[in-house]
Amino acid sequence: MFFHEKKKYTYFLALKIITFCLFYLIIGLLFTCVPLQSGVEPASLFQKFTWRCIGPANMGGRISDIQALDDDFRMVIVASASGGVWKSTNAGTTWEPIFDTYGSASIGAVAIFQRDPNIIWVGTGEANVRNSVGWGDGIYKSVDGGRTFVKMGLEDTHHIARIITHPTDPNIVYVAAQGHLWGYTGERGLFKTTDGGRTWVKLTNGLPDDGRTGCTEIEMDPQNPEILYAAFWERIRYPYRFLSGGPNGGIFKSTDGGRTWRKLTKGLPQGEVGRIGLAIYRQNPQIIMAIIEHGFQPPRGSKDYEDMTKLGSGVYRSEDGGESWTYVNRYNNRPFYYSQIYINPLDDQLVYAMGTRAMISTDGGRTFQPGFPGIAGDFHVMWLDPHCRDRFYVGNDKGISLTHDQGEHFNFFDNLAIGQIYAVSVDLRDPYYVYVGLQDNGVWGGPSNSRDFNGILNDHWFKFHSGDGFYTAVDPTDWTTVYSESQNGRLRRNHALFRQLSVNITPRQDNTYNWKEKIPPNKDPERPVVRMNWNTPFILSPHNPRTIYYGANFLFKSVDRGDHWRVISPDLTTNDPEKTRRESGGLTRDVTGAETHCTITTISESPLKAGLIWVGTDDGQIWVTRNDGQTWEKISPNLKGVPAGLWVSRVEASHFDEGTAYVTLDGHRSDLFQPFVFKTTDFGQTWVDITSNLPEGHCVYVIREDPVNPLLLFVGTEFGAFASLDGGQHWSPLGKGLPTVAVHDLVIHPREADLIAGTHGRSAWILDDITPLRQMTPEVWEKEFFLFQNRRATKWEAISRGATRGHQLFIGRNPLSMSQVPPSNSPTRLVNSAAIHFWLKEKPAQPLSLRICKPDGQVIKVARVEADAGLNRYWWNLRADPSATAVKIFRRRMDSLFKDLQGKVRGELKKDLKKLQQQWAKAVTPAEMNQVWAALTEKFRTLISRRLFLRPLRGTEVGAGEYIIEMKYKGQVFRSTLLVREDPLKGEK
């Protein structure tokens, strides 16, 4: 019934989309896989596009390290787990990203040389090694306060847990490197430099050097830099299991600057140990705290738990420099993810242990109580002010906060857009909204355009639910219906306005018609028969939004929006009994679903044929059904030259041919760091490798085929986004402004032709208006000049909060076609623009002539456009040129202003004034006149008489309708059209 009620709207929407795309579809028929021959590099073409961040920042993101100046807490450096490095000089009121263009956004540690804060070290590769963690490419150093960095080596350590600097010698630095996570390869251990990072020595005399055990902690005696303490940890991840602990781990001490080491054992647990955290008391370095993972973990309340002579996992204290230890508490929450302990620098009895909840002890670690009310959980790091007992920063999965009263109250910094997105979707509102699933921060929705002068603020974003957020989808016929999924496949149907109206529609035995028929009984709870990936995929059918496909290890189908389901496949995985055991964690059992394996990871239904479905799994299987699951064909064996069992990160069905699909595989969970991208045109019988020149190390998470141009492809990798204009024969970095960051998902908006990126560390970004890329046929590449068809322009109305709000706020960027910064009194109209794109094979000697006309031929705008070789974009402010009378008056008043200033300026200012007068004499168009006016008023504002002050020259705003764009090149006139519309809100009125 619901679908029939929406049928008219669906047909109308389809008609609009078909009309909009008709021009491009005709062009698409002309496309052939011919290498691009123009002298303009595709990379330079893509760099004409600019990404904009829209947030969200409300919930922050995981923090891996915090360091501040001992003598000025306001200068603070924050390491985001997968969002780079941020610096504040005003205690977090504002932040500056200082590591956006370097090798990795996954950060494990930062360090400041306290005697010269211009020296900053960054260790890449997060050390809290959960299943979704990124990896690094070594250690970097800045000597100018973070303005620039230089890589200083240790590239193959992958995960750097800690950096400490000598207190007086900036050339001496120690680095604790955990090493590769997914294999016993690369470098791991404790490294030291004595020449500022030019060379490194691995310290091994007395330390583990078995190729399996890495260094996870290094501490220096604050009164004697020759005394060091190091903690070593063996850990490894597989796609299906995590193992923590080994025989060679433990705590080690050096008294000669790291030349020799000995293992500390007195009072510490024997046998295998796991992750260890260390802390030294500043006032008395004989006092040391350790939190140690060990296999002996008796249940709370048991006799063994109460008997503290039975050493095991928990908190230990030494008061003689580590020579002997006392077991003081069994608390140790999820060691692989936390294992951090801190001593207040002014009170050795005040101890903090990180965990799902922050735990505080006031008796030296003997008892702990939960603390830090008002901020969310999963705590990882602290920085404690050495001069103020009550002041500290704390970082968790939800960002960074500052307290001045020992954690009674916090200032949470919701001005860092470091959200860790797994998946992104869009709706068809106008303007459209973006929906994201975030690591440990639930599912959020927010606008692509807020209509607010300030930009897109936290206020514009809203939350559906907590937990780990993953895939989302929006009914294209009813934007109020939003589907969302959280960890282990929990699927909900939500109402976008009344978000508390959420229905659990996860497939289960009581809502699946043929469960007993298709799924065998679950005889062993440690080997579940139905398995959902941590990030369980589901899709809405492009043929009917009431139809949902949901991937466990079986594929489920619903035709009533998830109320009821059917199983439509056999187990599509290898169902390997070794990989399906619910057994993970090593010394500390950690079975949360993050390692659930032999599951479906990606689903794609052909937009050309209902029931033609492609499926990929985490254990390397690729399947296709052409009859909605009645029969299945395994096609992964036809994929040659790829190691078996690699994680299938995405399948993408083609919009142009039923037999064509794309697949990406991600090898990093097998310790294989290279891209894999393939294409089939015969339903998977054969595959062509289109990885081409994608950079080594860029594991690929997603591929998208443009629905208009069959040769236009996009991929997201661990380190950014790439595009191809020739079907994958060549790839280039896509756009400017996007930092180095993992791009986990990409979506092309079906109406607006925007590309939306979900980044795992820097929230959501939009690349506005890819319509010119859609028209870049091989024929266009060879033309000397080409004027593109244009996307419609909108005269957006202002809906603004109005008042100024200080500086501690996140401001996301509205579309580039809109003004961003409001005047102090917040006007009632937005300044809107339209993008006009054209192509030049070579840079012209002179500016090009551009005219904008009404359909009747009346010229309303004339401009001279500076242009370069390649793609060019001219912004028209949707205003006609001012009248001849207005121009005449403006010129006369500017002449008077120049004359008045000639009698006032002295010295070097006379030269500046003369230069502007020369530019004024050459100015012809209103835009050129306004450029001179702007420069003049900026340079001589204090000297301009009030009676001579004037505003810029402006014409009237144009109305809605179609306009003709004319450009002249080498005597030939080229034409395209531009549709200008009013804000759709006016239509709603």
- 32-50 burial string, b = 16+ CB within 10 Å, else e? eeeebebebebeebbbbbe
Residue 677: is its pLDDT beyond 80? yes
Residue 827: is its pLDDT beyond 60? no
Residue 938, token pair as written in the block: 């900026």
Higher pLDDT, 848 or 23: 848
SS3 537: coil
Percent of the chain with pLDDT over 70: 95
- The answer to whether the CB of 240 falls within 8 A of the CB of 575 is no
Residue 10: is its pLDDT beyond 50? no
Instruction: Return the minimum-mean-pLDDT range out of 412-416, 817-821, 972-976.
Output: 817-821
Higher pLDDT, 252 or 927: 252
- Mean pLDDT across 133-143: 99
CA distances for 679 relative to 507, 641, 660, 713, 747, angstroms: 32, 14, 7, 11, 19
Cα gap 716→698, rounded to integer Å: 9
Instruction: Return the minimum-mean-pLDDT range out of 16-20, 337-341, 816-820.
Output: 16-20
Give burial (CB, 10 Å; 0-12/13-18/19+) of 127: buried
Residue 801: is its pLDDT beyond 90? no
pLDDT tens for residues 152-180?
999 999 999 999 999 999 999 999 999 99
pLDDT tens for residues 86-115?
999 999 999 999 999 999 999 999 999 999
pLDDT tens for residues 573-622?
999 999 999 999 999 999 999 999 999 999 999 999 999 999 999 999 99
Closest of 269, 310, 317 to residue 293, by C-alpha = 269
pLDDT tens for residues 315-329?
999 999 999 999 999
- Report CA torsion sign: 340, 78, 160, 127: positive
The crossing angle, in degrees rounded to 10, of helices 908-922 and 926-940 is: 170
Residue 485: is its pLDDT beyond 50? yes
- Residue showing tokens 């003004």: 819
Closest of 225, 232, 330, 329 to residue 285, by C-alpha = 225
Q: What is the DSSP string of 964-982?
A: EEEEEETTEEEEEEEEEEE
Secondary-structure percent of the chain, ordered helix, strand, coil, rounded to 5:
15, 35, 50
So what's the pLDDT on residue 825? 53
- Tell me how long the chain is: 989
- The answer to whether the CB of 316 falls within 8 A of the CB of 266 is no
Residue 199: is its pLDDT beyond 60? yes
Higher pLDDT, 826 or 73: 73
So what's the pLDDT on residue 36? 56
pLDDT-derived band at 826, boundaries 50, 70, 90: low
Cβ neighbors of 917 (< 8 A, separation 6 or more) are 898
So what's the pLDDT on residue 463? 95
Encoded amino acid at 368, one letter = F
- Mean pLDDT across 873-878: 95
pLDDT-derived band at 499, boundaries 50, 70, 90: confident
Residue 182: is its pLDDT beyond 70? yes
The crossing angle, in degrees rounded to 10, of helices 908-922 and 884-902 is: 160
So what's the pLDDT on residue 506? 98
Cα gap 880→676, rounded to integer Å: 51
CA distances for 145 relative to 22, 104, 120, 140, angstroms: 53, 19, 7, 13
Q: What is the DSSP string of 585-641?
A: EETS---SSTT--S-EEEEEE-SSSTT-EEEEETTS-EEEESSTTSS-EE-GGG-TT
So what's the pLDDT on residue 762? 99
Higher pLDDT, 936 or 560: 560
- Residue showing tokens 């090593």: 586
Which of the following CATH numbers is that of domain 793-881+959-988: 2.60.40.1930, 3.30.460.80, 3.40.50.300, 3.30.70.140? 2.60.40.1930
Cβ neighbors of 334 (< 8 A, separation 6 or more) are 355, 356, 588, 590
So what's the pLDDT on residue 6? 37
Residue 186: is its pLDDT beyond 50? yes
pLDDT tens for residues 16-72?
344 444 444 444 444 444 445 556 777 788 989 999 999 999 999 999 999 999 999
Cβ neighbors of 349 (< 8 A, separation 6 or more) are 361, 362, 363, 364
Quote the mean pLDDT of the chain.
94
pLDDT-derived band at 938, boundaries 50, 70, 90: confident
So what's the pLDDT on residue 943? 84
Residue 937: is its pLDDT beyond 90? no
